[in-house]
Structure 1
Amino acid sequence: MSPHSVLPHVAPEPRLSDFFQGLGLLGRAFSLILRDRRLFLLSALCAAVTAVALVGLVWLLWTYAPGALASVWARPESWYGRAAWSTVLILSSLVLWVVGANVVPPLLLAPLQDPLSEMTEEAWGGSPGAAFTLGGFLRGLVTGIAHTLARLFFLLAGLAILLPLHLIPGVGSVLWTVLGSLWTTMWMAGEFLAAPMTRHLYPFAEVRRMMRERRALCLGLGAGIYVLLWVPILNTFFLPVAIVAGTLLYGGLREARLLPPPPGASSTAALK
């Protein structure tokens, strides 16, 4: 496959239509997975593990969320109080399920994420993965841990800042759900764009710069992943699809010269 048949054509300047191009990355990812046998087999393995994780999250929230809410807000006796209490429970559980879906499966499938991203790059003719060296492994491990901790901090910090919205009678919980979902959507875009960038040892500042400068493009990617999480059956494939889509976005940004060459890359490799 040529880069032009796989990678998105990213415009040099931000456009409002970038949002729909970001959404379209999910379709490109699905198409590539179905055409590439290795990607399909690895994605099927990820889907099986993800299915177990998502069902487990539903069971945990169903079992423990009511008690957790009751520990900070006793269930009211009045019908309108119970209605408000149930609304907070449902809306909070929905957001927590999405957050859990973006934390638990990636942790369980961490060893498969880099191979998925590498196979995606090879599919458009990118450089194959570098030969294993202890120094390279340790640098990648340190960079990966730093990126993961930074991303998790931003996710949880954003949701914590929005938490007081629950105190606003009536609309507070709805606002928290809407704004929390928007924050999680943007976070997901950063999560899966950072995956290939981490592997190539880009500093986290470069991830933040891309998200700031191409906000609509990244928001479209995150929105597509967020919606995919709510589609039964297909949502078991959300992790490999998100990794492939994020890697395609990375490749499109490189092709458009919006990202500098990876740190330490040779001049020849930098042009690939």
Structure 2
Amino acid sequence: MSETAPERLSRLLALVPWLRAHDGITIAEAASHFQISEEQLSKDLWQLIVCGIPGYGPDQLVDIQFWDDDRIHVLNPITLERPLRLTGEEVAALHLGLRVLNNLPGAHAQQSILSAMVKLEDLGETTLTLGITMADQSSLIATLDDAISRGSVVGIEYASGHADVIEMRRIQPRSSFSVDGFVYVHAWCFLADDVRTFRTDRIVSCSPVLDDAPPSAPAGEDPPALRRDPENMSTALIHIAPEAFWILDSEPVVQAPETSAEGAGEDPEDGVFAEIRYASDNW
């Protein structure tokens, strides 16, 4: 599949400062560095030289020379002479998100997460401090993490979110996710005889079920929030009319190859074809 508009924008923003630091590099070498074709790099360069600051006169556009001797020279980068850096607020948001992710039950590359957190701390403003207090759920997370990896059953005391009641439940945790800073566990509940979602801060206690486990819970269907892995999703081919081209920049779609569009039996000149992934046939 081809790249999305945000992916190309990220490369365009990184391209000018990198080319300025590698003056005279060939198109082939630059394309190899960014892992794109020479044709795509040429398209990027032609796109960049019509970008600039308001006024958009000759002296207000990015000036790159690349058509004479197959070598690239950035003559005027305008405001793109250095790579963009994260602000303190952006660092804080990413750092907090990684901290929440690190506390999710289930299989995660924790070493990679911790390494990214350290690198973000090095990027942040020295005056930025995070005064955040998080309840210690290490024992609970460890128990749920073990149950997810083993497919085993645990017993929990769960405080209802809509009534002043604490219930005893036996659940088979499957996966976890985070929404608005709260950690949830997606599990089969043997009391409800169905799939249920439990918020971890409402779990009063949690312990493995040591006796014979109940029969394996039905597979069920994961909620959309849990099915974002492209390998586990299907792809639909959609036709986008010219008046709806904004979808290409705002939604997770990628423009489809011409061969796919021809196979759909419609005239691509009336718009474009794009591919979008979906988690459920009900969508």
| TM-score bracket for this pair, using the shorter chain length | under 0.3
Q: Which structure is higher in RCO with an 8 Å CA cutoff and minimum separation 6?
A: 1
Question: TM-score, normalised to structure 1's length?
Answer: 0.24
TM-score w.r.t. length of structure 2: 0.23
Higher helix share: 1
